[in-house]
Structure 1
Amino acid sequence: MDLRGLTDEILLRLLKADDDKAFKEIYSRYWKPVFEAAYRRLASTEIAKELVQTIFLRIWEKRHTIQINHLQSYLQTAIKNRVINYIESTLVHKKYLQHVIDTTAGDCQGTESTVHFHELSQALEKAINRLPEKTRHVFRLSRFDHLTIREIATNLNISEKAVEYHITQSLKTLRLYLKDYLDIAL
């Protein structure tokens, strides 16, 4: 059956009924304009693709409960919000790393600062990657995507207590793993 002639409303109804062909039609119909909206704001093909994929993945995962009245508007708003969240998380990450550089700048000059910054960035990524998958995912949603505990619980279909537990565990593990780096920085 050719779904190209169907309206967005019909496609959304079919999507709620687990019709993967309806999802594929929505994806092929709207992927490019949503990608272009992200690309215009970020000027990065890879990041724009990643954000668009996240939106469509969320639509598929939440197809039974998501309430979409006007698909095109929903997608444009969703990508705008994802871009804003991405920029905010990037700025927070950069500010944190800049703070580390600034606090060590009195003792270090130029290249040495850059080396410390690079080592700390690598150590932070290694520490995050050592976390259990679920804990790592919760941590990234919390600290990089700036989602609230309630939003994370809703997105992952887990309790708020479970989210708090994962965040607490990740912070303990990161503190322990990064202890030597933080002692050097201070």
Structure 2
Amino acid sequence: MQSFNTDIQLFNTLFSKYQKRFIHFAVSYVCDISVAEDIVMESFLYYWENRFSIDKDANLPAYILTVIKNRSLNYLRNQAIHAKAEDHIRLHQDRVLQANLISLEACDPQELFSSEAEGIVKDALAKLPELTREIFVKSRFENRSYKEIALNFNISERTVESHISKALKVLRLALKDYLPALLIWLSHGI
């Protein structure tokens, strides 16, 4: 019991004497007071849990500061990994944005409705089952709602949605090399 009380007294002495200095040290590197406080608290806890394996002649403040240093390094390395990942994502988003800008600038609405595009759409629609084709035409070319189409064919709105989805898959495949803008138009209607 005496040893435990001595350990607690030593811990309390170390904590009260060095806590603020250690926090100041950690915050100077991690630049976040709450992160620094957490690192210091975890380091004191690490010291407490490992106190029996520490050499009796060890410089305890230096030992705890070494733990703080290592935890701060791990935090900064983790932050660097996150920053690199965010940069990679941002770079990818920038590339997508630039590709969209170039694509949209090159888009000629007259070409969207050219006879070639219409021919591809007509051929693809002709290959669809009759009900699927009729539902798609009513939805995209006659601007009918799913509810109206469902009532017209005496089917559920989910069935209408399924037929539209099936038609869009066929059209996407037929138009995959033609014009991305036309696909957007067919997917969303005008």
- Structure with the bigger percentage of helix: 2
Which structure has more RCO (C-alpha within 8 Å, separation ≥ 6)? 1
Larger radius of gyration: 2
